[in-house]
Amino acid sequence: MATSQNEKATRFRALHEGPSAFLIPNPWDAGSARILAGLGFQALATSSGAEAGVLGRRDGTVSRDEALAHARAIVGAVDLPVSADLEKCFGDAPAVAADTIRLAAGVGLVGGSIEDATGDKDRPLYDIALATERVAAAAQAARSLSFPFTLTARTENFLRGNPSLDDTIKRLQAFEKAGADVLMAPGLPDLASVRTVCAAVKKPVNFMAGIKGKSFTVAELQAAGVRRISAVTPFVVDPGYGKNWLFVKVETSDGLHGWGECYTQADRDHSIAAHARQLGRYLLGRDASHIRHFTHWAYNDFASKRGSLDFWGAVSGIEQALWDLAGKRLGVPVVTLLGGPCRDRIRVYANGWYSGARTPDDYGKKAKETVARGFTALKFDPFPGPWRTHISRDAERQVVETVRAVREAVGPNVDLMIEVHRRLAPMHAVRVARMLEPFDPFWYEEPVSARDLGALVECRREIKIPIVTGEELYTRFEFREVFERRAADIINPDVCNVGGIEELREIAAMAEAYHVVVSPHNYNSTTVGLAATLHVSAAIPNFLITEYFVNFEPRAAEVMVNPFKVEGSYLTVPTGPGLGIELKEEVLARYAYREFPARTIPAPRDEGP
C-alpha cells in the first residue's frame, strides 16, 4: 500500500529532528530514483543541475513546469519522501515563490528549497530584505498546506562570488526568523565554517557534499552540527580489464562506514548489484554488529534458501563491510576479531599475467617477466578454445607444450598452478594430468566440476598432482561433502562469493579436520576483496597461498588510498582498524560502470572436438 503524502511529509520532518545526520541523495530521473531507493536511502531530493542535464541543458535554464514535471516523475517512481531543488522558486516576486510552493505540493513533493540567487550575473544575490520577504512568502504558503511541508532556505554567497561568512550567517538567521524549516549555505570552505553556521542558527542545517575541496565525512559533519547530507555514492567500477568491480559501502548513524566487495562476472554485474540493493533495504535500522544474523536471515528469509552466484556475491560484500565496521568501531583489525593472526604475511601467486598470450612462446615470455617482478608462483589456464568437457588430441598437446614452455622459461623453483576451470570430463582430466606430471605442477585446479563429486573423487584417485576445488561452491554446506568424500587436497573458496569473512573461516575450520589446506580464490580487485582475504588467511592455521591478479594493479593503485605492494611474492596483513583499507570515492566515480564488448560465444559450426 502506497504511503500518503502526509505520512511521507511527517517522516521527512522527523528525519531532520532525529539525533543523527542522514544522507539524502540526488536522483537524475525516475530510474536512478528507484536505484537509490533500493540502496536504502530514506528520502530523495531533486537537483536543478540533474534535471537540466537530463534535458541536455545548463543549470538554471529549466522552466517551472518542466521542473515540476521532473519532480512528479520521481515522486511517482518511489514510495519515499521527495524534496525538490526549486532554485529561486522561478520568479522574483514573493507571490511567485508562494505559488511555486503550492504547485510543488500539488505534484506530491513534501519539501522544497528557495535560494537567494537571482540568476543575474551583474546582481547575483537578492538584497537581504527582498530575499527574506521571499522566504517568508514561501513559508506562509507551506504552512497553509494540509501536511508539514519542509521548506529549506539557502544562501548562495559562497557560490556567487561573495564568500562572506558573516553575511551568510546574517542571511540564514533572517531566513530562520522568516519561517524556514531547514537552512543551507552551499560551498562553505571548511569544517570551522560549518561549525560556526550550525552554532549560529537553531534550525537544522543541510550540507551539500560533492564540491571539490569542500566535502567532509559524515562523522565530521555530524560533529559540526549538520543534520542532513546531500551525497550519492557510486559502487560499480570499471577496472579497465575483464569485468566490472562491485564495492558495497555500509554507513551507520554514528558516522562510521565499512567497505565490502562482491564477486562479479562479465555480463552479470547488474544482477549482483541488484541483489545488493535489495538486501540493503532490509538492513536499514538494524544493528551493524549483528553480522551472523544478517547472513542467516539473508539466506533463509530473503532468498528462501535459494542461493546463487549473484545472491552470495551480494551477501559476501555486505558481510565484509559489516566486519570492517566492527573493527573500526573497536579500533582493531579484523584479524584480531577472528582470534588473532597465525602469520603476519601472506604468500600470493600471480594470475592474469598471461593476458593476450596465444602461443606457448607467448606464455613463456610473459611468465619470465612476471617472475622477474619477484613472484615465486604462477597460475594459468593453458587450455585452448571454449570450455567443453571433451577436447581434441591437438588441444591436449597444446596444453602440454604451453606448460612445457612456462616451466622452461621460469626454471624448476617457481610453483606452477594449472587451472582447468572445471571444464573437462574425467577421461580428459586424468589423461592431461598424467602428461603434465614431468613438469612438476604445484596443483591441478578444478579438473572437473564439483557439482559431480563422483567424477572429482575419481580424478583425485587417478591423478598424482594435488587436486583443488571450491571456486564454484558457496557456504560450508556445499563444502561438507567434498570433505566427507575426500574429493580434494586443497580448496579455494572466494571470500567475495562464499558468504563472506566468517563463512570462509568456518569452511577453513572444517577443512582442517580433514587435513585439507586452504588457498582462497580471489578474482576480485586487489583492494577490498584482497584485504578481506588477507585477514582470513592470517587467522586460519591451514592456509597455503592466495591469488593476486597483476592486471588489476593499475586501477587498484588509483582507487585505493594506500595500495598493496607485493614483495617477494608476499603481502603484509593490514594492521589498521577494520579491513585496514580505504577507497577514494572521487576516483570510483571517475571510473563508473562500463559495458564491455560482447564476448565471443561459439556457434554450432565452432563446436568440436
DSSP 3-state of 261? strand
- Name the catalytic one among 421, 428, 515, 535: 421
CB 327 within 8 A of CB 288: no
The residues near 307 (Cβ < 8 Å, ≥ 6 apart) are 299, 474, 475
Report CA-CA distances (Å) from 360 to 97, 316, 508. 74, 37, 36
CA distance 107 to 104: 6
CA angle centred on 21, ends 20 and 26, rounded to 5°: 150
Instruction: Say how far apart CA 446 and CA 418 lie, in whole Å.
Output: 9
CA–CA separation, 476 vs 146, rounded Å? Answer: 56
Buried residues in 469-484 as b, exposed as e (16+ CB within 10 A): bbbbbbbbebbeebbe
**All residues at 6 or more sequence positions from 98 whose CB lies less than 8 Å from its CB, including other chains:** 137, 138, 140, 141
- From the list 14, 134, 28, 129, the residue with the least C-alpha distance to 77 is 28
What is the H or E stretch that residue 183 is in?
Answer: strand 182-184
Helix (H) or strand (E) holding 321: helix 309-330
Q: Which residues pair with 176 in a beta bridge?
A: none
443 three-class SS: strand
- The backbone torsions φ and ψ at residue 359, rounded to the nearest 5 degrees and listed phi first, read -115, 165
HEC readout, 77-144 = HCCCCEEEECCCCCCCCHHHHHHHHHHHHHCCCCEEEEECECCCCCCCECCHHHHHHHHHHHHHHHHC
* DSSP-assigned letter for residue 573: P
Residue with cell 561433502: 481
Q: How far is CA 46 from CA 75, 109, 202, 206, in A?
A: 10, 10, 25, 14
Element spanning 196, H or E: helix 191-200
Catalytic one among 16, 70, 428, 521?
A: 521
Nearest to 459 by CA among 487, 417, 499: 487
The DSSP 8-state label assigned to residue 181 in this structure reads S
Which 3 state secondary structure label does DSSP give 528?
helix
421 among known catalytic residues: yes
Active-site residue list: 421, 521
